[in-house]
């Protein structure tokens, strides 16, 4: 039981770039990052960025254009957002380098990981 409690606490915390190498997972919590900080979001979790709920899923390779416009297979994810104030829902297909606005803050996708024997993740870095 104590191990389960420690695991739940670790899944619901998000810390800055000074954290261990792999950014923490906000899990079910609220994300509050400083500029330059990163955190990863695991498939099946639903963290909040201000009044914006975020869900990640369907991580796999898709034929998508890069910044140069060239179509290639790229690891990608679907990111769904729900704004609790406006009730607006949006769906985004993201790859490394995609920029998202979540609430009033801006983020860049720095990693999309499939997750071989576990749910996949995306890593977001807060921008100025």
Q: pLDDT tens digits, residue range 7-50?
A: 333 343 344 444 334 555 555 578 888 999 998 899 988 899 98
Q: pTM of the prediction?
A: 0.77
DSSP 103: T
Predicted pLDDT at 7: 35
Predicted pLDDT at 24: 55
DSSP 117: S
Domain at 66, CATH number: 2.60.98
Distance between CA atoms of residues 49 and 43, nearest Å: 16
Q: Is 48 helix (H, G, I), strand (E, B) or coil?
A: strand
Answer yes or no: are the C-beta atoms of 46 and 126 closer than 8 Å: no
Domain that holds residue 26: 2-127
Domain total in the chain:
1
Q: In the chain, pLDDT over 90 holds for what percent of residues?
A: 58
At residue 11, φ and ψ (nearest 5 deg) are -75, -20
């Amino acid at each position: 039981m104590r191990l389960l409690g420690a695991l739940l606490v670790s899944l619901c915390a998000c810390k800055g770039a000074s954290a261990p190498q792999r950014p923490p997972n906000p899990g079910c919590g609220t994300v509050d990052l400083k500029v330059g900080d990163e955190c990863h979001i695991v498939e099946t979790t639903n963290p909040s960025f201000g009044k914006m709920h975020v869900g990640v899923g369907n991580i796999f390779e898709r034929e998508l254009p890069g910044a140069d416009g060239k179509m290639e297979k790229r690891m990608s994810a679907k990111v769904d957002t729900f704004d609790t104030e406006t009730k607006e829902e949006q769906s985004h297909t993201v790859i490394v380098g995609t920029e998202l606005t979540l609430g009033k803050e801006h983020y860049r996708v720095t990693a999309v990981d499939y997750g071989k024997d576990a749910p996949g993740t995306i890593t977001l870095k807060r921008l100025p």
